[in-house]
Amino acid sequence: MGNPLLRVEAKPFTLEEILSEETEILLRDMWDSLEEAGGIGLAAPQIGISKQLAVIKLSEESYRYPDMETTEPYVIFNPQITVLDKEVQGFWEGCLSVPGLRGYVERPRKVRIDYLDENADERTVEVEDFLATVFQHELDHLIGMLYVDRMEDVSTLMYEDEMILQEVSEEEILD
Ligand code: ZN
């Protein structure tokens, strides 16, 4: 947080760029970074690339998130997001670009994302509940937004150490 790249709108990929060797290397780098950090989602601006790309994968093997169901690995280029259910749900979000902190964020509970996959094929996915929050969090990175911008009550911002002391339910935590 504080790096200007996290605050600008990322540029879309051309089809040629998606299929390039350079992007293949970038993708490998992103999956490696995500695994190393023990996270569940990462957007290209977080590693210094201001382009519209994010990767997401929830894993039930994650020791930090024991109650998650494993999902397929999502590779998302040039996403368009549509809210399908305006009713909101709240989770304690964290972010690899805002280390050590968590904050309570409410977002729509169901969204559709139209995007291109790593083969530059058009894909559509409808997601709800926790996964809908994960998608919205990651795709916010592509329009220069961080979860702290989405917080209604900044007094819920807290250090992870403090959160453990306060015994906030683990299944509500997102990172
Ligand atoms: Zn983030």
pLDDT in tens, 21-65: 999 999 999 999 999 988 899 999 999 999 999 999 998 765 555
- Per-residue pLDDT band for 66 (boundaries 50, 70, 90) equals low
Spacing, Cα 102 to ligand 1 middle (Å): 11
Supply the pLDDT for residue 164: 79
The conformation of residue 14, written as its DSSP 8-state character, comes to P
Q: 95 CA distance to ligand 1 centroid (A)?
A: 4
Higher-pLDDT residue of 63 and 72 is 72
- Predicted pLDDT of residue 162: 87
- Nearest partner of 138 among 130, 129, 147, judged by Cα: 147
- Using the structure block, give the residue that is written with the tokens 């879309």: 12
Segments of 97-150 assigned E as strands: 101-116, 122-128
Cα of 19 from ligand 1 centre, angstroms: 25
14 C-alpha vs ligand 1 centroid, how far in Å?
A: 24
Q: Would the pLDDT of 170 be above 60?
A: no
Residues in the chain: 175
Instruction: From the candidates 61, 138, 170, 171, give the one annotated as an active-site residue.
Output: 138
Distance from C-alpha of 17 to C-alpha of 169, rounded to nearest angstrom: 42
Q: Kindly give the pairing relationship between strand 74-93 and strand 53-56.
A: antiparallel
Which own/partner contact pairs does 166-169 have at CB distance under 8 Å and 24+ positions apart? 168/92, 168/102
What would the mean pLDDT of 79-93 be, rounded to a whole number?
96
Chain centroid, CA 74 distance in Å: 11
- pLDDT given for residue 134 in this prediction: 96
Confidence of residue 69 (pLDDT cuts 50, 70, 90): confident
Q: What is the pLDDT of residue 157?
A: 95
Going from the Cα of 74 to the center of ligand 1, the distance in angstroms, rounded, reads 16
Residues contacting residue 112 through CB under 8 Å, at least 6 positions apart? 81, 82, 84, 124, 125, 126, 127
Q: How confident is the model at residue 83 (pLDDT cuts 50, 70, 90)?
A: very high
Asked if 72 and 13 count as a contact pair (C-beta separation under 8 A), the reply is no
Q: CA angle, corner 128, sides to 68 and 121, nearest 5?
A: 95
What pLDDT is recorded for position 23?
98
Q: Mean pLDDT across the stretch 61-72?
A: 69
Q: Which residues contact 133 (CB under 8 A, 6 or more apart)?
A: 89, 91, 93, 105, 107, 174
Task: Name residue 91's beta-bridge partners.
Answer: 105
- How is domain 4-174 classified at the CATH fold level? Peptide Deformylase (3.90.45)
Amino acid identity for residue 14 in this structure? T
Is 16 among the residues known to form the active site? no
Bridge partners (DSSP) listed for residue 114: 80, 124
Q: pTM here?
A: 0.92
pLDDT at 40: 92
For ligand 1, the distance from its centroid to the CA atom of residue 34, given in whole angstroms, is 11
To the nearest whole number, what is the mean pLDDT of the chain?
A: 92
